Structure 1
Amino acid sequence: MFTEERLEAIEEKLQKDGKVRVKELSELFQVSEDCIRKDLKILENGGKLKRTYGGAILSKDYPLERNVIDRKGYHLEKKTVIAKKALDLINDNETIFLDISTTNIKLAELLAESGKKLVVVSNMIDILQILARSPSITAIGTGGTMFSSVNGFMGAAAIEVIKQYSFDRAYIGSCGIDMTDYSITTLGAEDGLTKKAVLQSSRHKYVLMEKEKFYFNDSFKFAHFEDINGIITDEFPDKDIIEALDAAGVRLV
């Protein structure tokens, strides 16, 4: 099979299944995995797909292009599963941090209904508004520079406030994981440095993310596996990722 024919076949499989894996394509076309990776790079350069860890997904299915306002209704069922798992880990009288995250919006809703007695610090306005409804929760905003794209505060001023706290538990959003160096990523430096400050001020540190985010990453690395205690997700990823998490001492919830 010529390269052009293989590229066309890969694109057809993507359109049908929404994603492809390097190993499976290598076996299907009887070529090396390196050859398939080159094919995927060609297709990515042409805007046909987004390469991920071990494969690729359709460009139109790549959710990181959405801002926070757009993502509120995206994968809502999965976010509810994650939020319920996160809620079960929280004890009365804890001080916790809820990072800018659409999953944390759902967690805030569950907390407001739970009756748990907590102090909750957040840099996201949506979360603070929800928590303010609960008489048992003291909601504290970081303040700082307001970013309308996330409806929250990021940057130096917010970081200075975060540094003054010692959180029992922190729940951090992520745009994906880079499995080549086990880093946890987000969209940009302002958000990444703010998340990093939260991790440094917390005892129990959890990243909240859907299963699909194990297979792609964004531009700014704000932490590595050794910097967190666990990842809370809707479904467990592939075996090789689970083994890497286990070797790094990261709990998968």
Structure 2
Amino acid sequence: MQRRAEILKMIRENGFKRVSELKDIFQVSEVTIRSDLRTLREEGKIERNYGGAMVKEEQESPSFSETSWLLSETKSAIAKAAVELIEPGDSLFLDGSSTTLLLAKLARHIENVTIISNSIPIFEQLKEMTTATLIGIPGTLNPRTQTFVGPYAEKMINDLRATKTFISPKGVLLEGLRDITMVEADIRKRMMDSGNEVIVLADHSKFNNNRTLIRIDSFDAVNTIITDQRPEDEYMNVFAEKNIRVIIAETHEE
């Protein structure tokens, strides 16, 4: 049915759509929209939420345990380049990614550093450290990514301020940073907004990753991008226009 196909497209593009919005767009009753959403949910294409529907996230989002074994030389090199940007006394937002986990292991030895994260693996790695301060962001557990997300997590991030934010989005496209799930995108966006300096950690596979449906933010707030290969010229032109520093991490493979 054409209307359901258009509804699905809108949900994928926006991450979430309310029943009331869809009713007005298609000029049909709420009963009709709810019936369409029910069908899409039964087909496994969306998830229903109070008052609307969202992208079926769990189909696309790999669990932390599924991706942690991919901690390659590339990610290690990016983390090593990133830690060079951290100074004693810095406060850091670290998102829940395998690259920031590696960064946390390196940053724990920096004098008087404060690490703020929603990531359980980072908590586990740093729980016994005595040389730095660890602040945990509470919220609703996303069991696949082992991170805390949702409104409580977002509110706490809004109330904090850090000197540097390190995030590792799932996609870097010409229009900006993107993610697979709406809840993780929201957390990364809040961290960007609450950090004085934003550093993006993205290996070459993140560029042109068109499977990332959810928008995090444009490049306007980004100060530095650390990657393992020089991005294509079209990206470099955008970064130069936005005055974004690009650091190419050295790997043994080079």
Could you state the TM-score of these two structures normalised by the residue count of structure 2?
0.70
Alignment of 1:34-183 (within 5 A): 66-112=62-108, 114-179=109-174, 182-183=175-176
**Conserved 8 A contact 2:61-2:144:** no
CA change 1:115–1:228 in 2 (3 A) is closer
Give yes or no for the alignment of 1:208 onto 2:201.
yes
Q: Give the match for residue 42 of structure 1.
A: none
Supply the AA of the counterpart residue of 2:181: G
**Higher helix proportion (structure 1 or 2):** 1
Tell me the alpha carbon deviations over residues 189-214 of structure 1, each in whole angstroms, 9 at most, x when there is no partner: 11111111111111000111111211
In 1, Cα distance between the equivalents of 2:182 and 2:110?
Answer: 36
Q: Give the match for residue 31 of structure 1.
A: none
Deviation at 1:159, TM superposition (A): 0.6
Deviation at 1:88, TM superposition (A): 0.3
Tell me the alpha carbon deviations over residues 210-229 of structure 1, each in whole angstroms, 9 at most, x when there is no partner: 11211213010011111211
Deviation at 1:167, TM superposition (A): 0.5
In 1, Cα distance between the equivalents of 2:233 and 2:226?
Answer: 16
In 2, Cα distance between the equivalents of 1:138 and 1:65?
Answer: 30
User: Gapped runs of 5+ residues in structure 2?
Assistant: 1-59, 248-254
Q: Give the match for residue 193 of structure 1.
A: 186
Could you state the TM-score of these two structures normalised by the residue count of structure 1?
0.70
Deviation at 1:237, TM superposition (A): 1.5
Q: Give the match for residue 241 of structure 1.
A: 235
Q: Give the match for residue 213 of structure 2.
A: 219
In 2, Cα distance between the equivalents of 1:65 and 1:161?
Answer: 24
Deviation at 1:92, TM superposition (A): 0.5
User: Gapped runs of 5+ residues in structure 1?
Assistant: 1-63
Deviation at 1:75, TM superposition (A): 4.9
Aligned length: 187
SS in 2 for 1:244: helix
Instruction: Supply the RMSD in Å over aligned alpha carbons.
Output: 1.4
